[in-house]
Amino acid sequence: MVTIFPHRGAVVTQLSADDLKDIYDIRANLEEMATRLAVPHMTDATLAELTSLIEQMDNHLHDVVTLVKLNHQFHLTLYAASSRSHLCELNRMLRYRTQHYLRAFVNALGRMPRAQEEHRAILEACERGDVDQAASLTRDHVAEVGRAIIEYVRQRDESQSPAE
Does the domain made of 15-160 have the CATH classification 1.20.120.530? Answer: yes
List helix spans (H) across 39-162: 44-58, 64-80, 85-97, 99-107, 112-128, 131-160
Q: List pLDDT tens digits, range 49-77.
A: 999 999 999 999 888 889 999 999 999 99
Least trusted range by pLDDT, from 37-41, 57-61, 105-109, 119-123: 105-109
The number of beta carbons lying within 10 Å of the beta carbon of residue 133 is 17
Statement: residue 22 has pLDDT above 80 = yes
Q: List pLDDT tens digits, range 127-164.
A: 999 999 999 999 999 999 999 999 989 988 888 766 55
Instruction: List CB contacts of 125: < 8 A, sequence separation 6 or more.
Output: 39, 133, 134, 137
**What pLDDT shows up at residue 61?**
86
Least trusted range by pLDDT, from 11-15, 19-23, 36-40, 125-129: 11-15
User: What is the distance between the alpha carbons of residues 126 and 42, in angstroms, rounded to a whole number?
Assistant: 7
CA distances in angstroms from 147 to 98, 113, 133, 139, 150, listed in the order given: 13, 16, 21, 12, 5
DSSP state of 14: P
Coil/strand/helix, residue 11: strand
Instruction: List CB contacts of 110: < 8 A, sequence separation 6 or more.
Output: none
Under the phi-then-psi rule, with left for phi > 0, alpha for psi from -120 to 50, and beta for the rest, what region is 13?
beta
User: What is the distance between the alpha carbons of residues 2 and 4, in angstroms, rounded to a whole number?
Assistant: 6
Cα–Cα nearest to 35, from 71, 81, 92 = 81
User: What is the distance between the alpha carbons of residues 82 and 95, in angstroms, rounded to a whole number?
Assistant: 17
